[in-house]
Structure 1
Amino acid sequence: MTMLLEHGGCLQLAARQFGIPAADWLDLSTGINPNGWPVPPVPAECWLRLPEEQDELLPAARAYYGNSSLLAVAGSQAAIQTLPRLRPQSRVGVLHPAYAEHAGAWQRAGHQVTALQVHALESALPALDVLILINPNNPTGCRWPIAQLSDWHGRLQQRGGWLIVDEAFIDTTPELSLSPLPVKPGLIVLRSLGKFFGLAGIRCGFVIAETAILQRLAAELGPWAISHPARYAAARALKDTQWQRETAIRLKLQSRRLTDLLSENGWPPSGGCDLFQWIETEYAGQLHRILAEQAILTRLFSRPASVRLGLPKDEPAWRRLQHALAHPGVLALQAVKSG
């Protein structure tokens, strides 16, 4: 049996493990915007009729992403799991640490997967058929400029290779995005409404790539990949430019606030982006547990030992995190770390 990879957001599991009701938790484990786009009431026909491709979703997505060559998928996860089936056995480089589903999907499909540190990407490129990056990276927040990614894509494409860039966390830094660039053979960009828009539950994302890849991907995924209610909500979120502008500003301010709060309490982030901060420390497991005992859920990583914290939703949540970081157990751990 294939083992499922661990993810943030496992609130029910944490509730059982620590004996604290799920309703009492502050969940900072996902990196999802806690104040997502406000979904309006969904018309009854969305529940009663099959979704249709000729609705508002694709025009809205083409305008938002600045590209007409795209395919709607059930969250970028659907593409992550399916793309490995579109290539013969390949040599695949995946950044580590990074979102583990990429490596897992290519391994399960029988490809040769190599985990790469940031400093090894350039030297490893000649031996790869596929390079997969998350920009900004999850969980480290590492970023790559367009010029660097374009160079790597060009070198891979010369021998029929692919560059896959997962832009799940890029919405607040559109200057880094490859999405608006003209599509090229072997360049595949993944986008999601789950993080910036906070609409993880609707399972809607997009693949931007050349038509040949989109057609093969669509054939693998089959009809009605996105539910009718999800298409209705996603189209309206993508068209709400005022909310998008205001949210991008707010998230940047909140990210700075989280960085400052962690730093002031002796846990300066090692990296992050506008939706989360990441702390690499050998005491990650202890910090995760002490916060969990106070019903604050963070995302724990074992390699390297680290924790990721998303943004608190409101002022009571910010005060709660601040109080938790001043807990005697956290202070004692911080003293050991510093001493």
Structure 2
Amino acid sequence: MALVNGNSVDAVADHGGSLGRASALFPHAPLPWIDLSTGINPHSYPLFDLPATAFSRLPEPARARELAAVAAATYGAPSAANVAPAPGTQILLPRVASLVKPGRALVLGPTYAEHSRACVIAGHAVAEVRDFDALFGADIAVVVNPNNPNGCVVSRRDLLDLADKMRSKGGLLVVDEAFMEVGPQDERVDGDVERGGLVVLRSFGKFFGLAGVRLGFAIAAEPLAARLDAELGPWAVAGPTLEYGIKALGDEAWQQSMCNTLYEDAVRLDALFAGAGIQISGGTSLFRFVRIPDAAGLFAALGERGILIRNFGWDDTALRIGIPGREAEWQRLEQALAAWAAKRDARATEA
């Protein structure tokens, strides 16, 4: 086991989305699986034909610059020079953490586990904290906003105060806005990066439902963005990915329509769970979050019916549920929830 400052860099947490793992847990589950274990949009951006040169030639630098410009306009960054495109935000995490010399990293949690692991890789001593104010004592602070998995949101004002503190002592605040497309737009901090002490991460695949194209962005003050871009090197983003990123990020009509669709889906999902006696306690319109005493029982009951949701080792009462896509998936989920609720109620009556 590799250790840095007493922390393991080997363990990769279960993030959901592994149907191989699901099949091992529930080998007799009916197929096809309904994967509700991620926050990836089931209504993906429409596929379209790509020019053959997107596959046969190295990506043109001008096309990468165009992607950065479209991303800056979409996310509200000051300019394209503030945007470093990458093959997914995952590859950016340890590079961003390395922008600060090894010190004390504090991650506001519970949240996406890869932030802590990336900070360990960068040489930091890492701890997860539950109190936002504790982050002011960090050399590098990490906030996922809206948070995954509970959807909690930290205000822009509080984040900028923290960024100012980080800048004053040569530290860094990393704000992961992977789900901000369906979050409160007034709280995003993409446009504030030139203040310094702040890097914002943006994920393309979740909202656009194209996680497999691997595209993400670091938004930062120009010197930091240039450093990250140089570290990634030429041709960091694949040709087909450039084409999808440019077109989808520039499609404002689709984005607005999808926000409305996902909101309606989230309302429907809340009602479906309420019908089974489960109240939603958080989340976004890309995923919902619940806490119930029998979380393990519900996870197993749905898994045995070929429906994968997300459970958590740090809280055996917590579950995260993604949005179903096709109507048949909604119907299967409703039937599975009804069957679980009937067994629960029968046990309560017997007791």
Return the alpha-carbon distance in structure 1 between the equivalents of residues 28 and 57 of structure 2: 41
Native 8 Å contact 2:266 2:288 kept in 1: yes
Deviations 1:69-89 (A, max 9, x none): 111011111111322223211
Where 1:171 maps in the other structure, the secondary structure is helix
Native 8 Å contact 1:287 1:333 kept in 2: no
Task: Give the alignment's Cα RMSD to 1 decimal.
Answer: 2.0
Where 2:206 maps in the other structure, the secondary structure is coil
Q: Are 2:203 and 1:192 aligned?
A: yes
Alignment of 1:1-339 (within 5 A): 1=1, 2-20=10-28, 23-55=31-63, 56-67=66-77, 68=79, 69-117=82-130, 120-122=131-133, 124-173=134-183, 174-181=185-192, 183-305=194-316, 306-327=318-339, 329-333=340-344
Q: Which moved more, 1:124-133 or 1:317-326?
A: 124-133
TM-score (norm 1): 0.93
Deviations 1:309-339 (A, max 9, x none): 0001022111111111011x44334677999
Q: In structure 2, do the counterparts of structure 1 residues 260 and 85 end up closer, same or farther at CA, with 3 Å as the change threshold?
A: same
Q: In structure 2, do the counterparts of structure 1 residues 126 and 57 end up closer, same or farther at CA, with 3 Å as the change threshold?
A: closer
Deviation beyond 6 Å, 4+ runs, structure 1:
334-339
Where 2:180 maps in the other structure, the secondary structure is coil
Deviations 1:57-111 (A, max 9, x none): 1221122112211110111111113222232112111022100000111123321
Could you tell me how far 1:15 is from its partner in structure 2?
Answer: 2.0
1:12 maps to amino acid: G
Where 2:105 maps in the other structure, the secondary structure is strand
Q: In structure 2, do the counterparts of structure 1 residues 22 and 222 end up closer, same or farther at CA, with 3 Å as the change threshold?
A: farther
Return the alpha-carbon distance in structure 1 between the equivalents of residues 281 and 156 of structure 2: 23
Return the alpha-carbon distance in structure 2 between the equivalents of residues 128 and 180 of structure 1: 23
Return the alpha-carbon distance in structure 2 between the equivalents of residues 38 and 77 of structure 1: 24
Deviations 1:195-238 (A, max 9, x none): 11111111001111012212222233222211100111111001
Return the alpha-carbon distance in structure 2 between the equivalents of residues 90 and 335 of structure 1: 54
Could you tell me how far 1:252 is from its partner in structure 2?
Answer: 1.1
Q: In structure 2, do the counterparts of structure 1 residues 270 and 259 end up closer, same or farther at CA, with 3 Å as the change threshold?
A: same
Return the alpha-carbon distance in structure 2 between the equivalents of residues 126 and 178 of structure 1: 18
Q: How many matched pairs?
A: 335
Q: In structure 2, do the counterparts of structure 1 residues 139 and 38 end up closer, same or farther at CA, with 3 Å as the change threshold?
A: same
Return the alpha-carbon distance in structure 1 between the equivalents of residues 193 and 314 of structure 2: 37
**Structure 2 residues not aligned, in runs of 5+:** 2-9
Q: In structure 2, do the counterparts of structure 1 residues 183 and 22 end up closer, same or farther at CA, with 3 Å as the change threshold?
A: farther
1:322 maps to amino acid: E
Deviations 1:130-156 (A, max 9, x none): 110111000010011211111111122
Native 8 Å contact 2:94 2:122 kept in 1: no
Identity in percent: 39
Native 8 Å contact 2:67 2:242 kept in 1: yes
Return the alpha-carbon distance in structure 2 between the equivalents of residues 334 and 141 of structure 1: 30
Where 2:143 maps in the other structure, the secondary structure is strand
